[in-house]
Structure 1
Amino acid sequence: MNAPPPLAPRALYEEVAEHLRQRIFNRALAPGDWIDEVRIAEALGISRTPLREALKVLAAEGLVTMKVRRGAYVTESSAKDMADVYHLLALLEADAAAATAERITDAELAELRALHAELEAAARAGAAGREHFFALNERFHLRLLEIADNRWRLQMVADLRKVMKLHRHNSLLKTGRIADSLAEHGAVMAAVERRDATAAAARMREHFASGLEAAA
């Protein structure tokens, strides 16, 4: 049997989109900032064509807003926007938590336990572990979604979480929120360990309700 052809390298515009996406997530480009296409293209050593294609990708994700004759801006989300995003995430991830509780294998449960243990360690590290906590928090949620095994739900959540990241620090940086978030993850874990789908969904909805309150 012939070996499959090697995967094509990622298109330049996709690399540029990821570069800008990370700059938006780490606040190098803050909500409301104008995106200076000329300066960015020069800094990256590229033409404006792949940059504009990258901006179209980010606009489709909701991270960038294109304004007629004014260019591209990092999206500013209103309180209603965030409430709407959290509402949809609560519905989708609660449903995933229930499905996970029903179908999770012992090996997958061990993975979630290990991720939760890492979350606990990052929380204990205080400010030094904050960024690691953010990353682990997302990994925990996405692994739960993967176990629930619905690729359409996973894609919808991935897109919504990109918008949520515009305000991520607003919630998790509040005093006591990381500890509260960790406790809420623990409650979800406990329900999943009991294979209690109803409780897993309820605890996940409560988790998002708390997150929205902290983000306000």
Structure 2
Amino acid sequence: MAKTDSVGSDTDLEAVRIYEALRKCIFQGEFRPGHELNQVHISQKYGVSRTPVREALRMLQADGLAEARFKYRMTVTQLTAEEVDQIYGLWIACQAIATQVSMGRLSRAELAACKKVVDRMSRQDGEQSSHWRDLHLDFHRRLNRPAGRMYIDKMDEYWHRTERARYSLEQTSPSLFGDDRGDHAGLLHAYETGDLQAAQRIQTLQLVRSATASIKLIDPDYTPIFMQNAVAVLRVRL
């Protein structure tokens, strides 16, 4: 039994290693949209069986980075401006509800833990750091904890499905994310003082800023109607 568990654990580790390597190739543009993710070639390149490769491809598919085509061929997806617009529109609405539910329901200990995460974020080199991104996700998950697992998982999904566009922006326009550090401190202060309006404004502004730049990078002529309508329905003053 112990041997079986060990084999399973090794396979999981290999799958994560391959997933991260392929994900990096997609984000950095080495694998363009439509590129075939051939299981045989990948298993030969990384010296593993096809089992962890299949799991790695499944993880990429869950992130929206790959899709199954004819005869189960897996290819890199094309991220369109409309898709980014739709995701951010849903994300803005989902986050607004989670904020309203969570406001006033975090304990002092939970808020103190959030403060420690913000302090650790401020000591990182910048948003291009993978460790900063991990801390960033942790911070928002902690703030959204009272909203429940369904909301947290859904917003994690939105984050991963748009991360490719943000990665490109971080390489070409790193100054775009410069205000995020102050935003997170301000957001935490809004939660500490129970200022729902300020919290929703900060979070919506963060998402709108990221969405607008991402969409412009993909298609400068596209009008983000889903995002604009989400903001209008929520009546958030930016």
Q: Percent identity over the alignment?
A: 22
Identify the range of structure 1 (156-165 vs 106-115) with the bigger mean alpha-carbon deviation: 156-165
Task: Identify the residue that residue 71 of structure 1 maps to in structure 2.
Answer: 73
CA contact (8 A) 1:171 1:214 kept: yes
Task: Identify the residue that residue 136 of structure 1 maps to in structure 2.
Answer: 135
Task: Identify the residue that residue 5 of structure 1 maps to in structure 2.
Answer: none
Aligned positions of 1:99-138 closer than 5 A? 99-122=101-124, 125=125, 130-138=129-137
Which of 37, 40, 43 is the matching residue for 2:42? 40
Which of 20, 26, 46 is the matching residue for 2:24? 26
Structure-2 separation of matches of 1:112 and 1:213:
28
Counting matched residue pairs gives 206
Shift of 1:185: 1.9
CA contact (8 A) 1:24 1:74 kept: no
Structure-1 separation of matches of 2:86 and 2:15:
25
Structure-1 separation of matches of 2:169 and 2:180:
10
Structure-2 separation of matches of 1:31 and 1:184:
33
What amino acid is the match of 1:184? D
Which of 138, 146, 168 is the matching residue for 1:148? 146
Shift of 1:85: 1.6
**SS of corresponding position for 1:103:** coil
CA gap 1:89/1:17 in 2 versus in 1, 3 angstroms: farther
Which of 164, 167, 170 is the matching residue for 1:166? 164
CA RMSD of aligned residues (A): 2.9
**SS of corresponding position for 2:110:** helix
Deviations 1:72-107 (A, max 9, x none): 122221111111222222222232223332201111
Deviations 1:164-200 (A, max 9, x none): 2222213344142232222222332221111122332
Shift of 1:14: 4.8
Shift of 1:15: 4.4
**SS of corresponding position for 1:77:** coil
What amino acid is the match of 2:183? E
Deviations 1:21-41 (A, max 9, x none): 322443366442321311211
Structure 1 segments unaligned to the other structure (5+ residues): 1-7
CA contact (8 A) 1:172 1:214 kept: no
Structure-2 separation of matches of 1:115 and 1:211:
21
Shift of 1:110: 0.8
CA contact (8 A) 1:98 1:200 kept: no
**SS of corresponding position for 2:75:** strand
Task: Identify the residue that residue 211 of structure 1 maps to in structure 2.
Answer: 210
CA contact (8 A) 1:31 1:74 kept: yes
What amino acid is the match of 2:209? S
Segments ≥4 residues shifted beyond 6 Å: none
Normalised by the size of structure 2, how large is the TM-score?
Answer: 0.73
What amino acid is the match of 2:91? L
CA gap 1:27/1:168 in 2 versus in 1, 3 angstroms: farther
Q: Is 1:195 aligned to residue 194 of structure 2?
A: yes
What amino acid is the match of 2:196? A
Structure-2 separation of matches of 1:17 and 1:74:
18
